[in-house]
Structure 1
């Protein structure tokens, strides 16, 4: 089941021994939020909130993607990170 694999992948991320790049973190965040919350309907952060704005934009790029598709993409992405950083 995809949900169980998704939860397992979310746990695997916590065990990485090296830090992924900022872009990889943003992709992880965006896919996780899309999979668990759905489309981004929050207000865009202000100009001075650079981190919040980057996260918002990354998540917003996933708009329209189903939860199942986002979960599967997250699982695949985490597997790549584990191979690269574990």
Structure 2
């Protein structure tokens, strides 16, 4: 199975986890997904009134420079770990 196929399967698996991950883990999942699918962060950082958007942006921004393949692999590994 290719990395792209594993990444797609992990996306499906992420929606079927037995327990909802904590917020920090959810941010990590989001950031790894965005880095793996889109590369480095784009757009402007949301303002103070959008706390969730701002946290998501910041989490993704922390991965700047990570290759998309590396982000996909870390995403796959994290979802596998959460599946238990």
Q: TM-score range by the shorter chain?
A: over 0.9
Aligned residues: 83
For residues 68 and 74 of structure 2, what CA distance do their matches in structure 1 show? Answer: 10
User: TM-score, normalized by length of structure 1?
Assistant: 0.93
- Per-residue deviation at 1:48? 1.3
Structure 2, unmatched stretches of 5+, are none
For 1:1-86, what aligned pairs fall within 5 Å after superposition?
A: 1-83=2-84
Q: For 2:50 and 2:16, how far apart are their aligned partners in 1?
A: 29
Q: CA RMSD in A?
A: 0.6
TM normalised by structure 2 equals 0.96
